[in-house]
Structure formats: structure tokens, C-alpha cells
Amino acid sequence: MESRALALRPRCATVHAPSLECLPNELLLLVLSHLDVDDLLSTSRTSHLLRRLSLLPILHALRLRRARLLLPPLLSSPSRPSRADLIARQVFLTPTSLISRRLARNLVSIRLARRLAARPDPHALALRAVLPRECIPGLASPVCVAPALVASRRAVERARIHNHLKRWVEAHWQHRVDEHAKSVARADETLGTGRVWRLTRYWERVAKGEPRILG
């Protein structure tokens, strides 16, 4: 497998366009052995050659050998915190810390359950104006509305009432205007005298197709 992976490599097209894949496989393996796991994964996705090289057992042997050389100095470094410091920072969890954490979670659950049991019901909260009445079914409307949608629902209701009142005022005002125009026309027709008025009425009837009766 190693020989096949080392043999399958592209040839450089020109001398003026060098590529990383044109380097010797030994040099590429040396470069890959210095990469972290995340960087090695990202590099292996760039080309087929680098993917085949990243899967070679010899590369992982080189990485393990390099890790054996680097880990002892890092573990014995004075800047590395001690186990007691890691336990105090809750980085290193001991069985005792796990039990205490589980006990703290249980205590919090019990405290929350007691407070939720002593909390008043939603109907009482709505009567105290803590919750909107629209959130309680049957109190303000037969349909229950989520608290986040109450403001939007009220805005829609206000807009609907505003449009309804606007149409009613327009219709009522137009009716009043028409009634006033008819009353003025009846008054002019009853009290109107003179040749000009009679001629006006005559030509209005002619335009409407009524009998041409002057007077």
C-alpha cells in the first residue's frame, strides 16, 4: 500500500508552475508529521495525493515518535498547573467532585420544584395583570394566545377597529352629504323662480331624456 501510494503522484506540468505535490514524498511526510490532527484532516482534503499520504501507517508512526519526544518536557514544565490546581479549577474531576456536582443538581431540582408548586396558577396571574388575559383560554377570548403574540394580536385588533370606524364614518358622512344635496335641490325646486331657473330645469330634463315640459 505504501509503495502504491508513493508511486501514484502527479507529474509537474511545467517548471515555472511549482506545486506542493511536486515535492518528494519523504519531505511531504515530514511536513505532515508536524501538523496537528485538525490541520492534517484539512490538508488531506485538498488533494488525492495528500489524502493517500495522510493515511499511511509510516506517517502515524512518525507522529507517535514525535509525540513521545515532545510530551515529557511539557508534562514536567513548571508552568503546567498541578493536579490540585486542576481539581480546584474543576478541570480534573474526581469521583468526589462528580458526586458533589450530582448532589448540587438534585438540590437545585428540588428547590425549583418547590417554587413552581408554590407559584399561583395562570388564572390568578391574569387577574393580577401579570399575564395578559389573552393567554388564558376562556378569560378574554375563546382562543388562547401565546404571550409573545399578544402585542401583535392587539395591534391587529386596533387596526381592524380603526378601519371599521373609518368606513362607517365615511359612509355616514356621504349619506349626510347626499341628504343635504337632495334637500337643497328640493328647496330650489320648490322655491326657485325666474326664467333662468326654469330653463336650467328644462335642459336638465332634456339631458335625462324626460318629457320636454317647460315650467
The domains of the chain are located at: 2-75
Per-residue confidence (pLDDT) for residue 17, from 0 to 100: 60
Q: Each residue of 57-101: pLDDT tens digit?
A: 999 999 999 889 888 888 888 888 888 888 888 788 888 888 988
Whether this prediction's pTM lies above 0.85 is answered by: no
Give pLDDT < 70 ranges for the chain.
Answer: 1-18, 138-144, 188-197, 211-215
Backbone angles phi, psi at 150, to 5 degrees: -65, -45
User: In this structure, are residues 189 and 201 in contact, taking their beta carbons and an 8 Å threshold?
Assistant: yes
With vertex at residue 169, the alpha carbon angle to CA 163 and CA 173, rounded to the nearest 5 degrees, is 150
Rg of the chain (C-alpha set): 46
Per-residue confidence (pLDDT) for residue 111, from 0 to 100: 94
Average pLDDT in the chain = 80
- 75-102 burial, b for 16+ CB within 10 Å, e for fewer? eeeeeeeeeeeeeeeeeeeeeeeeeeee
Per-residue confidence (pLDDT) for residue 186, from 0 to 100: 72
Place of cell 409573545: 148
Per-residue confidence (pLDDT) for residue 142, from 0 to 100: 62
Per-residue confidence (pLDDT) for residue 128, from 0 to 100: 77
